[in-house]
């Protein structure tokens, strides 16, 4: 049976690259939006936490056959979550991001065998979403993104 190891490694790579950006970012710049309205580091972490938590809940409910409680207007929910997290301390948002990352990895480790081939492919969407926001954030912070970025290996995932 196919294992989730490659996908998990790619999520962990994206997490590591995002953490490198965090380490490079001065504390006073963590909540500053980039030119053109790019999300701040804090907003990016909170947004990814919301997305990844949603993905886990979505697939948990699909597997349980109870997918009726998920928000119908995901974009509206996402905007409301951004408003809410802007009021939170940075460390709370970071903790939320770290928790959602652990939940996502645990879900992939524990429930991969329960997912259909299509659902397994659907888990590439949160990975691409993370990569997209990491690259936007890297540009907004005034530099290139650390690490390899998208390459042939990640394109196959």
User: pLDDT value at position 39?
Assistant: 93
49 closest CA partner among 90, 89, 96: 96
| Tokens (6 digits) for 140 | 């907004």
Q: Which tokens is 120 given?
A: 């397994």
Q: Which pLDDT does position 76 carry in this prediction? A: 87
Closest Cα to residue 44, out of 81, 8, 9, 70?
A: 81
Domain 5-156 maps to which CATH number in 1.20.120.450, 3.30.1330.10, 3.40.50.720, 3.40.640.10? 1.20.120.450
Domain range annotation of the chain: 5-156
CB 51 within 8 A of CB 125: no
pLDDT one-digit tens code per residue, 12-57: 999 999 999 999 999 999 999 887 888 999 999 999 999 999 999 9
Q: What is the pLDDT of residues 67-122, one digit of tens each?
A: 665 556 778 888 898 999 999 999 999 999 999 999 999 999 999 999 999 999 99
For the segment 121-136, the average pLDDT, to the nearest whole number, is 94
- DSSP structure class, residue 27: G
Task: Please tell me the pTM assigned to this model.
Answer: 0.85
- Give the per-residue pLDDT at 156: 40
């Amino acid at each position: 049976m196919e294992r989730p190891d490659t996908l998990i490694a790619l999520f962990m790579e994206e997490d590591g690259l995002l953490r490198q950006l965090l380490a490079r970012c001065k504390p006073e710049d963590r909540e500053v939006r980039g030119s053109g309205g790019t999300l701040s580091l804090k907003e990016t972490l909170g947004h990814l936490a919301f997305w990844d938590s949603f993905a886990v809940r979505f697939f948990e409910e699909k597997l349980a056959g109870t997918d009726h409680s998920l928000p119908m207007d995901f974009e509206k929910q996402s905007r409301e979550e951004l408003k809410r997290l802007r009021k939170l301390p940075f460390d709370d948002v970071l903790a939320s991001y770290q928790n959602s990352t652990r939940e996502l990895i645990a879900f992939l480790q524990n429930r991969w065998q329960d997912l259909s081939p299509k659902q397994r492919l659907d888990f590439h969407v949160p990975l691409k979403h993370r990569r997209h926001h990491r690259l936007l954030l890297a540009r907004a912070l005034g530099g290139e993104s650390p690490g390899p970025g998208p390459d042939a290996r990640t394109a196959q995932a």
